[in-house]
């Protein structure tokens, strides 16, 4: 039975993932390569699109805005890989993972459907291959191989979860976590849009794959496997980097004295950084 508290958390994850997909993928579909029309001036069309930089910023801004809006409700995962990475790091309960992942996937699919419905409002629009889907080989924007895309998605998701785990600790500057996470996602997109159209989020990939077609559904497996592997690596190794092994499953990441692992030969009472 889903409690009222959990219902609120799942709804927050649904809405947050919807906004991430709608804002991020929407910017790629509608605004990345926009050309002026005769109503905007005479002569040759002018490129008014936002390009890779604009799309990268759009994805980052969706996370920043929604993390501030509902992060206090659900923890602002908006990403099955993040949920699993946090769980591996013992910052989240395994029993809550299925509900979170379902809410994220459904929120993403709802956004994908909304984008498809809006895009069809333009004459001659063809959704096939034009819904900001992720892909490798012939479906990679830059023609990158499956192995290259796999490596990129694992590494980028791993560092994304490292950042999330680090900035959500209580000892981190208060109120700045959404900014750091959003900037990190922006940077990730700046690196990898040409490689894979950037996933690092299975819900984002699933959201548009079936509306896009053109091989995207058949390649979707990679954009589940790679982000989850990367997130799990980060969750499993974060305590080795920081010396903090969380056992109380608190998404806030508060650091307690008993959580800090002190190396042999180091005075446990000596002043030390906990970040």
Q: Is there a contact between 168 and 47 (Cβ–Cβ < 8 Å)?
A: no
148 within some domain: yes
Q: How many domains does the chain have?
A: 1
User: Residues of 206-245 as b/e, b for ≥16 C-beta within 10 angstroms?
Assistant: bbbbbbbbbbbeebbebbbebbbbbbbbbbeebbeebbbe
108 within some domain: yes
Entry field: residues in the chain: 275
Q: What is the pLDDT at residue 2?
A: 87
270 within some domain: no
**CB neighbour class for 173 (10 Å; exposed up to 12, middle 13-18, buried from 19):** exposed
Question: Distance between terminal CA atoms of the chain?
Answer: 38
272 within some domain: no
Q: What is the pLDDT at residue 172?
A: 76
Q: What is the pLDDT at residue 234?
A: 97
Q: Which residues of the chain are modeled with pLDDT < 50?
A: 252-263, 266-275
CATH number at residue 33: 1.20.1080.10
Q: Quick count: other Cβ atoms within 10 Å of Cβ 98?
A: 10
265 within some domain: no
225 within some domain: yes
Domain range enclosing 236: 4-259
Q: What is the pLDDT at residue 38?
A: 57
Distance, in Å, from the CA atom of 53 to the CA atom of 25, rounded to the nearest integer, reads: 13
Name, in order, each residue with C-beta under 8 angstroms of 38's C-beta and a sequence gap of 6 or more.
none
Q: Considering the entire predicted model, what is its pTM?
A: 0.87
274 within some domain: no
Q: What is the pLDDT at residue 252?
A: 44
266 within some domain: no
Distance, in Å, from the CA atom of 92 to the CA atom of 52, rounded to the nearest integer, reads: 34
Helices vs. strands in the chain: H and E counts, helices first: 9, 0
């Amino acid at each position: 039975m889903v409690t009222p508290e959990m219902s609120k958390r799942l709804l927050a994850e649904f809405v947050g993932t919807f906004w991430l997909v709608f804002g991020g993928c929407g910017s790629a579909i509608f605004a990345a390569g926009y050309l002026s029309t005769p109503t905007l001036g005479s002569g040759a069309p002018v490129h008014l699109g936002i390009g890779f930089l604009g799309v990268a910023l759009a994805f980052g801004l969706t996370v920043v805005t929604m993390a501030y809006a509902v992060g206090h409700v659900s923890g602002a995962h908006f990403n099955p890989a993040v949920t699993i990475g946090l769980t591996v790091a013992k910052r989240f309960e395994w029993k809550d993972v299925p509900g979170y992942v379902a809410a994220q996937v459904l929120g993403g699919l709802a956004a994908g459907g909304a984008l498809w419905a809006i895009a069809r409002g333009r004459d001659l629009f063809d959704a096939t291959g034009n819904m900001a889907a992720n892909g490798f080989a012939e479906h990679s924007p830059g023609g990158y191989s499956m192995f290259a895309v796999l490596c990129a998605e694992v590494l980028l998701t791993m560092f994304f979860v490292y950042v999330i785990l680090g900035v959500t600790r209580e000892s981190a500057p208060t109120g700045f976590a959404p900014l750091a996470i959003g900037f990190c996602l922006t940077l990730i997109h700046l690196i990898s849009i040409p490689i894979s159209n950037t996933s690092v989020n299975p819900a984002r990939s699933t959201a548009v794959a079936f509306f896009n077609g053109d091989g995207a559904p058949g390649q979707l497996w990679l954009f589940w496997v790679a982000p989850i592997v990367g997130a799990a690596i980060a969750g499993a190794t974060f305590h080795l980097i920081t010396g903090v092994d969380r056992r109380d499953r608190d998404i806030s990441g508060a650091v307690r004295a008993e959580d800090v692992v002190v190396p042999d030969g180091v005075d446990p009472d000596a002043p030390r950084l906990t970040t």
